[in-house]
């Protein structure tokens, strides 16, 4: 019998439910990488959900040209961001949240809202855990 939770199908077997790796992970893995959420957030508050490359680079502290390019390529590849190239001299490139990218914002906000509310406790838990287990401290 096939059921789903968290967008993840699982088989109900005699030994219990059996999960197999699937779609949601490959999206969460993208959002979980170092810069993606920062880029998404920055576009989310931009007029028209749109910014040029240099504006993103200036607005995100510590990101390198290479990592910004890679992050944007990944988002473009998934169709969350649209790349607008203007063949001028010097060149100008703007990045815009796609309709699908913008449609993710409410769900993302509800989730990050949970994180915001629970972050102090998580931080405290980590501190306590690290004190008890001085190995593997971050």
Residues in contact with its own copies by CB under 8 A are 4-8, 10, 15-21, 23-25, 27-34, 37-38, 40-42, 44-45, 55, 58-62, 73, 76-80, 100, 103-104, 107-116, 118-119, 121-126, 129-130, 136
Query: What are the φ/ψ torsions at residue 90 (nearest 5 degrees)?
Result: -75, 160
Count the Cβ atoms, other than its own, within 10 Å of residue 66: 8
Q: Based on CB atoms, which residue is closest to its own copies, 4 or 87? A: 4
Give the span between the Cα atoms of 18 and 62, in whole angstroms. Answer: 42
Distance of CA 6 to the CA centre of its chain: 17
**Residue whose C-alpha is closest to residue 95's, from 48, 53, 35:** 53
Among its own copies, DNA, none, what does residue 122 contact (CB within 5–8 Å per kind)? its own copies
Which residues share a beta bridge with 9? Answer: 4
Q: Applying CB under 7 A, which of residues 3, 77, 83, 127 lies at the interface with DNA?
A: 83
Site membership for DNA, residue 42 (CB under 7 A):
no
The CA distances from residue 131 to 27, 29, 61, 128, 138, in Å, are 34, 29, 31, 5, 11
Q: Based on CB atoms, which residue is closest to DNA, 7 or 32? A: 32
Among DNA, its own copies, none, what does residue 64 contact (CB within 5–8 Å per kind)? DNA
Among DNA, its own copies, none, what does residue 57 contact (CB within 5–8 Å per kind)? DNA
Handedness of CA 114, 133, 28, 99 (dihedral sign): positive
Q: Applying CB under 7 A, which of residues 8, 41, 52, 82 lies at the interface with DNA?
A: 52
**Residues binding DNA (CB under 7 A):** 33-35, 52-54, 57, 62-67, 69-70, 72-73, 83, 85, 90-93
């Amino acid at each position: 019998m096939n059921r789903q939770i968290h967008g993840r199908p699982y088989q109900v077997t005699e030994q219990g439910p059996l999960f197999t790796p699937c779609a949601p992970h490959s999206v969460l893995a993208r959002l979980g990488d170092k810069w993606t959420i920062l880029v998404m957030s920055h576009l989310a508050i931009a007029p028209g959900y749109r910014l040029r490359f240099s504006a993103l680079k200036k607005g995100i502290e510590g990101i390198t040209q290479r990592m910004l390019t890679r992050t944007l390529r990944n988002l473009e590849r998934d169709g969350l961001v649209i790349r607008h190239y203007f063949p001028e001299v010097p060149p100008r490139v703007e990045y815009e949240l796609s309709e699908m990218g913008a449609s993710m914002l409410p769900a993302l906000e509800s989730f990050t809202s949970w994180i915001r509310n629970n972050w102090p406790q998580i931080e405290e838990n980590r501190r306590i855990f690290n004190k008890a287990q001085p190995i593997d401290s971050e």
